[in-house]
Chains A and B, each alone.
Chain A
Amino acid sequence: MGKNAIASKHQHSTERVFARARATITASGNIRTGLSRYKSNADPAELRLTVPMFATHPAYKSLVWPCPKPPTYSKLGKAGLPGYASLENEIIWGVRSLLSWGATLVTFLKLKDQADQFYLTGEIAALNATIFEMERSCGASLWLAELKIAAWEAVQSGKDDGSSGRNLAHTDGMHPLAQFIITWFAFRAKRNLSAQEFLRFVERVAPMSEDATSGLLHILSGLCPTLTVDQAAQIVSYAEYFSAIDRYLILRSTIQVLIAGGIIPDELRQSLLMELRALEYAVEDQSISRMIASLGKKLNRRPESKIPIEVLNSYTIGNYSKAQQDCDKLLLEHFDIEILILRQRCLVYSICKFQVQDFSLNPVNHETCPANLIAQDVARIVNFERDGADAISRLSKMALTCNNACWAASLNLFLTRVRNDDRIGQPTRQQVCWALRQSVENPSLTFAFESFSGAEAYLEWAYPGALNEVAGQAVLDLIHPDSPTTLIRTETEPHRWERLQALRSLRNHDAQSAIGFIQSQFVESVPRVIRIEAGLLLAESYLRSREYQKCADVCADLFLEAPYTDRLLPISDLTDRLLQASDDLSVSDPALLGQLPVVIVFDLFCRLVSPLREAERADAFKDFLRVQNVRVASELTREAVGIKRAHLIYFLRKICVPDVLDQSLALASTRSVEDERANVLLLLSDLTTEEGKPPAPEITEELRSIRTKQVVRETTFQLDQSRVYVNVEGVKRTLGLGMRETWQHYRLMLLHGDLEKHVELQKLIRNLVGSRLIVSVGGAIAASDKLLLAMLQEVRDLFATSKEFGLDANLSTNVRHGYIMRELRGPFVTRQLVTNKSTEEGGYKLNVYWLERHLEDCGGETGELSDALQKFTKEVDRVIEHLNRNVIRIRSDTAPEGLFWLSFSETHLWLMRDEVISIDNYEEFVELVLSRLWSMTYQCLDAIQTYLRGPVRQELNAALAQLQQTLSKLTPTEAVSALTVATNLVRPDINSAIERVSSWFVPTAESDFADYPLKIAYEAALATVRSYFRDLDMNPNFSDIPGALLAGPTLPTFVRVFSILIENAALHSGISRGQLRLRGETSCDGDQLIIAVVNGLDPDLERLSLIAKLDRVNSGFNREGAEMAIATEGGSGFPKIWRLLTHDLGRKNSLRASLTDTDELEVLITLDARGIVR
């Protein structure tokens, strides 16, 4: 039978099969459903015959494939047949449908390559023209949308921030699935989103599920998901929604994922190869040929794009300059990532310094040309530069944005091989997938395909005769121990040969031999890049040979020489194995982890991988000190045996930090940790000085910061101990002449104590003292007692209630002015257990924090919880208010519960009289009375402490218990559970707060403050206010007068002044959360010290009423204003500032509060600086 006869017979036979198939479909009553059933049930061989006929038949083609060439984006995506068939039938259905579009796909692949080249070389105009041509010839597609978005973002510098991509996704009429995918493309391309963030986002928001859309999304997003055969069938089926080029690319990518995952069933393998061959014949796509070759099948068609073996030979034998020149020529013809990488490696090995090469075809785009950016970053990576990690991050993002471009796969493979070298270990699924998607053939792809026996077939296809080439032998030598190595031995550089042998040994699980080959290259005399590459291999070899401490030593050396290598070192595996080895010991042995390189490796793990091993890092740190036989790190001597200087410096600088030091049992407090850190910094400074360098600025800055923190803390502590005081000198001055005269007369009465002189004496007294004396003279003794009592009362009144100097005024300024409330309420506020009132008179706000959580959890009623929380807040505030308003008071008719009970009883009088008799000096008398008043005050302080530790603590604990009781009866939700935890966590905090407040009620300590820069006062004030306003971020931004110190005794006053000013900013700026701009400034103008505190304001804060308030404040900043407000709490606190500056400091002063031109609030204080600024 002749050929024509055979063909004719075949055609008749095909037509008969097609007719039978149509009959079956028609019989089903619904052509769509019938076609779908046919796709599922037909024999694969029959489908190969019939699908091309259905795909072109006028009655069926729109059902088989609704829209293969969408004229616009509004037509992109249309549902195809319902359901899906087996993977085999879906692949056949897809491939055979595509065959009729072969010519379009050939055109597309050519244009696609052109577009990629224009994109990489920054030829925007040509790129746009190509996109236009592709839209015309192939229609709208997901692929084109992706390219457009990438072009907008990268080539046009992302000027529209992806909005054009989003606009494309919102095209009216576009199928929702297409819109969904394009939205992801636009999101993925956003400049401020890293590849890692995007991939984490995909995993979180659209994790792989049985639903095939997630698989489709993962594949199109650049992932290589684990697919089941069923999921793969669904994805291939979904592809018919889209255009011919999308369908082709989705089908190709899905098959690549299947091959990479090694999940192609044997029974499908032959069928798949048949389809791939059909596709290869029709489309002439080199990546399809590569898939066939990697599956072990021989091909006649050879690859068009590959790295020429001659160039690879030059590279392998070490003729880098020749190889580089060849690469440059090739790159100018066609920019391929594989060739670029080879070129950059040549440069590293030849001159160890990079020449900048401009790959941009358009000089205008030199800066933004992707090819140039890629070249620079690849150079950073292969040269192990400090910013290598950033380079990896940038390139990963670039590759992700253009995921469906072949060059992106090449780039991705390069980036992952940096961390997972498939020459010495298994390639990952993702690596195999990228190897299948490459643009150019390269012998090194062999390693990716070896896992599914495609290595030799691939090499034979891509590089026939490679066995006789040095570059081919270098690959084969690793794969087959018996392959010939003559050329490698004779022609390659010694270091390259040794490296190959080390790789080969590792590949063959002989780590010891690998160490033997490579360790000679990890020495100082070897060029840097070769040494680092050797080090990486050596670290891996030591790990595999279980020499963990040597491995750690190499890791530490490498990291300190080239910090970027931290990403490439086996840090995770090494720490795992060290911990396992430690656990396996029967007796604890500090020598295992107590080696400095091991400590450094644990530190790297904590910084790079996860903080979950911080405790183990501290263990290694402590073991190291134990092995060194020192108590603390600062005792280490710089000549310590076996410690490399670079390791020691890193250890001191980066590991001996508070979070590690505080795990040492040798340090028992925060203060001792700070001191130790300061000592460590001094040691570091010495080490640096020994090298002839000045101490690093960050060392001196950290030392200064530690010292400042300590001074501020000590100052705050001392100030807390001196809240209760009386300006005794002020009291004495006020008593003045009148009291002195009264005292003289009292003395006179005592001296002339006989009854005969009583009348005369009384007259004398009346004449001298007049009505000021409240004396009802019943006899000489009673008269003198009453005179004494009057004097005592007068001193007592000034001592207790003088608005300028007295105890009550100081209690008001230093204790009651919000401090008690904030200190005791603070722990509850921190744990969101209490809320504020909406207004002074109004009710409490709802506790939205807990109510919303509870509502989310149970979705039901929150009334009971709300009531309980409101009741709790009310009770807490009642207890604190009562303490503040009623208890911490001078006892009087208006404050009967006041615990400062300063009163002279008859007993006091008698006792005083007996003592006074022996005193003939007025000053002594006043001192005696004041000392009695202090004694009484101390008793009152004890009483207040007892009250705080007794009733206050009990009542607050009772309120907590009541709240917990209510919570235990509510629906047990996550929120209720978390709230119960909060009520328990707050208990120790409350106890601490009570203890802190109790500590205020002690006699004022005799503090001898050293002269200080005003910044110390500002920071001490800030530290206090910060602890009350934890939701506000207030920076210690203070500009001091350079070199100026203030007299030590003024410190408490200035801290109090700053506290009031900063607290005002926090309370009245209208900003309750986030950043509160705050700065302090000081200057001197002649004898005047000028202090300004400036704060930002919430834009919504009503400015007119603020200005009115400021006017009132400014006009009331004087004696009258102060006297009116001094004993009351609340308000601006400015009268208290007046009193502090005028009476405590004894300075003339002025204050002005105003709005600045930049809409900030400025409070400007001017005071006489003479004698206080040094």
Chain B
Amino acid sequence: MKVLIVEDDDEKGEHLNQFLRDRYINIEVATARSLQSGLRFITTSSPDLILLDMTMRNYDRTLDEEGGRPHAFAGREILRQMRRERVEIPVIVVTHFDRFGEDDNFVTLNELSSELKLRFANYRGTVQYKSNVDDWKPSLSLLVGSILKMKDD
């Protein structure tokens, strides 16, 4: 199975990568670190599953690239673009946060999850990640398991 992790926090990305490798055999993991590189990967490759961060910069950050604009809802934008291009790869949102945006755009994680569920058929659920607590692992495992099962069926 080919999994794409779209994540700009290297430490979190590495944890997710490690988690997938530890738990599943024959898994191939690729990483993208921004909204644009995530979209580019999705449109040029065909992963079987996407683990998607929500808040990211426009471009991958490097020494001579600040990363461009920050997007509070980069993950949602990737899902929207996938729908626009009729790409139906299952997506699990994995986020540190329990709230997103500011002022008029502010939403809680629960509200955002409800919105994603309503708008995007390929959205399979959200896992709240914590760097110092491992309770995200069973949740993620459950969601990945259900996707694998559907794939097998």
**Interchain CB contact (< 8 A) of B10 among A965, A978, A988, A999:** A988
Contact A977 B98 (CB under 8 A): yes
- B residues in contact with A999, CB < 8 Å: 63
Say whether A1063 faces chain B, with CB atoms less than 8 Å apart.
Answer: no
Question: When each residue 964-980 of chain A gets 1 if its CB lies under 8 Å from chain B and 0 otherwise, what string results?
Answer: 11001000000001101
Nearest CB in chain B to that of A714: its residue: B64
Q: Which residue of B lies closest to A974 (CB)?
A: B99
Of A615, A984, A991, A995, which contacts B96 at CB under 8 A? A984
Contact (Cβ within 8 A) B132 A961: yes
Select B58's contact among A662, A671, A980, A991, beta carbons within 8 Å: A662
In the complex the two chains form, what is the Cα distance from A984 to B11 in whole Å? 11
Q: Which residues of chain A have C-beta atoms less than 8 A from B12's C-beta?
A: 987
Q: A931-967 vs B: 1/0 string, CB under 8 Å? A: 0000000000000000000000000010011001100
Distance, CA A988 to CA B9, complexed state (A): 5
Kindly state the separation between the CA atoms of A713 and B131 in the bound complex, as whole angstroms: 34
A669 at the interface (CB under 8 A from B): yes
B11 neighbours in A (Cβ, 8 Å): 957, 987, 991
| Nearest Cβ on chain B to A619's Cβ, whole angstroms | 6
Within 8 Å of chain B (Cβ to Cβ): is A587? yes
Chain B residues with CB below 8 A from A895, complex form: none
Check if A961 sits within 8 Å of B131, measured CB to CB: yes
Tell me the residues in window 87-109 of chain B with beta carbons closer than 8 Å to chain A beta carbons.
96-99
- Give the distance to chain B from A781, nearest Cβ to Cβ, in Å: 49
Bound CA–CA A999/B62 (angstroms): 11
CB atoms of B98 and A981 under 8 A apart: yes
A852–B29 alpha-carbon span in the complex (Å): 44
> Which residue of the partner chain B has the closest CB to A720?
B63
Q: Which residues of B contact A978 (CB under 8 A)?
A: 99
Q: Is B145 an interface residue (CB 8 A)?
A: no
Q: Which residues of A contact B40 (CB under 8 A)?
A: 665, 668
At the interface, yes or no: A838 with Cβ under 8 Å from chain B? no
Nearest-CB residue, chain A, relative to B56: A988
Q: How far is the CB of A716 from the nearest CB of chain B, in Å?
A: 10
Shortest B17–chain A CB gap in Å is 16
B61, CB-defined interface residue at 8 Å: yes
A988 and B133 CA atoms in complex are apart in Å by: 19
Q: A668-B36, A996-B63 are in contact. Are A991 and B130 (CB under 8 A)?
A: no
Q: With A and B bound together, what is the CA distance between A279 and B36 in angstroms?
A: 70
Interface centre among A587, A668, A999 (most CB of B within 10 A): A668
Contact residues of A between 583 and 616, Cβ < 8 Å to B: 587-588, 615
Chain A contributes a number of interface residues (CB within 8 A of B) equal to 34
CB of B132 within 8 A of CB of A964, answer yes
Note all chain B residues with C-beta closer than 8 A to A619: 84
CB distance from B102 to the nearest CB of A (A): 10
* Chain B residues in 8 Å Cβ range of A56: none
Complex: A713 Cα to B62 Cα, angstroms = 13
Contacts of A964 in B (CB 8 A): 130-132
Taking a contact as CB atoms under 8 Å apart, the answer to whether B9 and A980 are in contact is no
- Report chain A residues within 8 Å CB of B8: 988
B123 at the interface (CB under 8 A from A): no
Mark each residue of chain B from 1 to 39: 1 if its CB lies under 8 Å from any CB of chain A, else 0: 000000011111000000000000000000000001101
A991 to B7, CA, bound (A): 13
Q: How far is the CB of B41 from chain A (nearest CB, A)?
A: 10
Give Cα A964–Cα B11 distance, bound, in whole angstroms: 16
Which of B43, B57, B84, B86 has the largest number of chain A CB atoms within 10 A? Answer: B84
Q: Name the residue of chain A whose CB is nearest to the CB of B131.
A: A961
Query: 1/0 contact trace for B111-140 toward A, CB 8 Å?
Result: 000000000000000000011110000000
CA distance A659 to B70 in the complex (A): 11
A717 at the interface (CB under 8 A from B): yes
Which residues 46-75 of B sit at the A interface, judged by CB distance below 8 A? 55, 57-59, 61, 63-69
Give the residue of A659, A713, A985, A992 whose beta carbon is less than 8 angstroms from that of B69. A659
B85 interface residue, CB < 8 Å from A? yes
Number of B positions contacting A (CB below 8 A): 35
Q: Are A717 and B98 in contact (CB under 8 A)?
A: no
Q: Which residues of A contact B37 (CB under 8 A)?
A: 668
Once A615-B80, A964-B132 are accepted as A-B contacts, the answer to whether A977 and B99 lie under 8 Å apart by CB is yes
Nearest A residue to B35 via CB reads A663
Q: Which of A966-1018 contact B (CB under 8 A)?
A: 968, 977-978, 980-981, 984-985, 987-988, 991-992, 995-996, 999
In the complex the two chains form, what is the Cα distance from A659 to B68 in whole Å?
Answer: 10
A587 CA to B61 CA in the complex, in Å? Answer: 34
Q: What residue of chain B has the Cβ atom nearest to residue A972's Cβ?
A: B98
B65 interface neighbour in A665, A670, A981, A987, Cβ under 8 Å: A670
- Residues A615 and B77 in contact, CB atoms below 8 Å apart: yes
A995 in contact with B63 (CB, 8 Å): yes
CB-CB contacts of A711-751 with B at 8 A, as 1s and 0s?
A: 00100010000000000000000000000000000000000
Contacts of A659 in B (CB 8 A): 69
Q: How far is the CB of A587 from chain B (nearest CB, A)?
A: 7
Q: How far is the CA of A670 from the CA of B66 in the complex (A)?
A: 8
Measured CB to CB, the nearest residue on chain A to B59 is A669
Chain B residues closer than 8 Å to A995, beta-carbon distance: 63
Q: What chain B residues lie within 8 Å of A717 (beta carbons)?
A: 63-64
Cβ–Cβ < 8 Å partners of A984 in chain B: 9, 96-97
Q: Give CA–CA (A588, B87) in the complex, Å.
A: 10
**Which residue of the partner chain A has the closest CB to B85?**
A588
Which residues 693-713 of A sit at the B interface, judged by CB distance below 8 A?
713
Output the least CB separation between B149 and chain A (Å).
28
B68 → chain A closest CB, angstroms: 5
- The smallest beta-carbon distance between A592 and chain B, in angstroms, is 11
B97 x A965 contact (CB < 8 A): no
Which A residues are in CB contact (< 8 Å) with B57?
988
Which A residues are in CB contact (< 8 Å) with B9? Answer: 984, 987-988, 991
B61 near A988: Cβ-Cβ < 8 Å? yes
B68 cross-chain contacts in A, Cβ below 8 A: 662, 669-670, 673
Closest to A717 in B: B64
Q: Known: A619-B84, A964-B131. Contact between A981 and B97, CB under 8 A?
A: yes
Residues of A within 8 A of B97 (CB): 980-981, 984
Give Cα A717 to B65, complex, Å.
10
Contact A985 B80 (CB under 8 A): no
Distance, CA A960 to CA B132, complexed state (A): 10
Residues of B within 8 A of A977 (CB): 98-99
Q: Specify which chain B residues have a CB less than 8 angstroms from the CB of A991 in the assembled complex.
A: 9-11
Proximity string of chain A (558-592) to chain B, C-beta cutoff 8 Å, 1 when within and 0 when not: 00000000000000000000000010000110000
A588-B84, A717-B63, A991-B10 given; A662·B43 CB < 8 A = no
Q: How far is the CB of A956 from chain B (nearest CB, A)?
A: 11
Interface residues of A (CB under 8 A from B): 582, 587-588, 615, 619, 659, 662, 665, 668-671, 673, 713, 717, 957, 960-961, 964-965, 968, 977-978, 980-981, 984-985, 987-988, 991-992, 995-996, 999
Using a CB–CB cutoff of 8 Å, the interface residues on chain B facing chain A are 8-12, 36-37, 39-40, 43, 55, 57-59, 61, 63-69, 77, 80, 84-86, 96-99, 130-133
Give 4 nearest A-B pairs by CB, closest first. A984-B96, A961-B132, A988-B9, A988-B8
Q: List 19 A-B contacts (CB under 8 A).
A: A615-B80, A662-B36, A662-B68, A668-B36, A668-B37, A669-B65, A670-B65, A673-B68, A964-B132, A978-B99, A980-B97, A980-B98, A981-B98, A984-B9, A987-B9, A987-B11, A988-B10, A992-B61, A992-B67
Given contacts A665-B40, A669-B65, A999-B63, 5 further A-B contacts (CB under 8 A): A588-B86, A619-B84, A662-B69, A964-B131, A977-B99
